[in-house]
Amino acid sequence: MSDKTNSWPWHQSYWQYLAAYVQQQRIPQALLINGVAGLGKQQLAERFAQYLICTDKQEQSYCGHCASCKLFTARTHPDFTLLQPEEPGKAIGVDLIRQLIGKLVLKPQYSAYRVVIIAPAEQMNMNSANAFLKCLEEPPERTVFLLLTEQSQALPATIRSRCQKLLIKAPGIDTATLWLQEQGVSEQQQLLLRLAQGAPIKALSYAQDNILAQRNSCFEDWQKVSLDKACPVQIAEKWHKLPATQLIHWLISWTEDLIKCHFQVDNSQLLNDDVEKHLRSLAKRLDLNRLFDLYSLLLKDTYRIKKQLNKQLLFEELLISWSQTTVNK
């Protein structure tokens, strides 16, 4: 891993916290690192792992030149394990946990500590979580577990209770905006950050992938459905090719803003203030009770979308429900 994480200013206070564990010789058996996507949780965890494994530690940093650091950088260190789903979005199955347990029977080979990162930890299913719990109940010698999650509540309470916790928060708007400017993002930084829940790395990827244009196109489709200018089934067919989780997040944020517009909140309270005029115009045409029903359906779909194989059917249901919220056509 490169030292790029050192240049991320929002990591500084968290690094001080982690380094203090080593300096005070109170390294946790298991640490749960929680925060939204795009804050660099894994990079921070890997930096801490290398610091723990380094055999020639500097003041609050790994040396980068000892045998352990070189093996870590080459991703071949026998005392470091990064445990992830075999495919993105899939569960971390019990077989992966059993393989890990078999590996942990042996003592660390090179360094004082062995480090296991599990990311994302909430992807462990019931069987794998139960198997991993035995690791925490009977911890292997000199082993540190770093569990990374965006949804800590999705982890069993039995696992959460055995971990120390570190919550990574989004940095202040000034810090995040300046960082984006330094990365070459010169326009709409604050809107990108709002869409990314304040996470600078995610906002940067949105800028690089031209996500705003895709979002604006989807918002136009969404308006057309409400105005009877587009067929929900045809739009669903178009949408099912897009990243579903991201699209659901947009729909939720638009619906939340419509509810706020119904109650005439100030523009500063809107997540999507760039389309504020369209939202306020739509809000005048909608039935509030039906809008709340749509909102409930969307919240359920944040969980359904991960299991729903036919995403087009899911979007058809959502868009038909959306078309029925309009009372003044």
Q: State the average pLDDT for the chain.
A: 92
**Whole domain around residue 215: which residue ranges?**
210-323
Domain total of the chain: 2
Q: Which DSSP string corresponds to 223-261?
A: HHHHTTSS-HHHHHHHHTTS-HHHHHHHHHHHHHHHHHH
Instruction: Please write the tens of the pLDDT for every residue from 15-45.
Output: 999 999 999 999 999 999 999 999 999 999 9
Instruction: Please write the tens of the pLDDT for every residue from 296-316.
Output: 999 988 777 766 668 899 999
Q: What is the CATH number of the domain that holds 105?
A: 3.40.50.300
Residue 158 and residue 293 in one domain: no
Give domain status of residue 113, yes or no: yes
Residue 227 and residue 293 in one domain: yes
- Rounded to whole angstroms, the Cα distance separating 236 from 316 reads 5
Contact 148, 33 (CB under 8 A): yes
The answer, yes or no, to whether residue 76 has pLDDT greater than 80, is yes
The answer, yes or no, to whether residue 282 has pLDDT greater than 50, is yes
Instruction: Please write the tens of the pLDDT for every residue from 90-133.
Output: 899 999 999 999 999 888 888 789 999 999 999 999 999 999 99
Of 172, 171, 157, 197, the C-alpha closest to 32 is: 157
Query: For position 329, what pLDDT does the model report?
Result: 53
- Rounded to whole angstroms, the Cα distance separating 257 from 223 reads 14
Of 205, 206, 237, 209, the C-alpha closest to 221 is: 237
First to last CA, the chain: 56
Give domain status of residue 258, yes or no: yes
- Rounded to whole angstroms, the Cα distance separating 68 from 53 reads 6
Query: For position 4, what pLDDT does the model report?
Result: 38
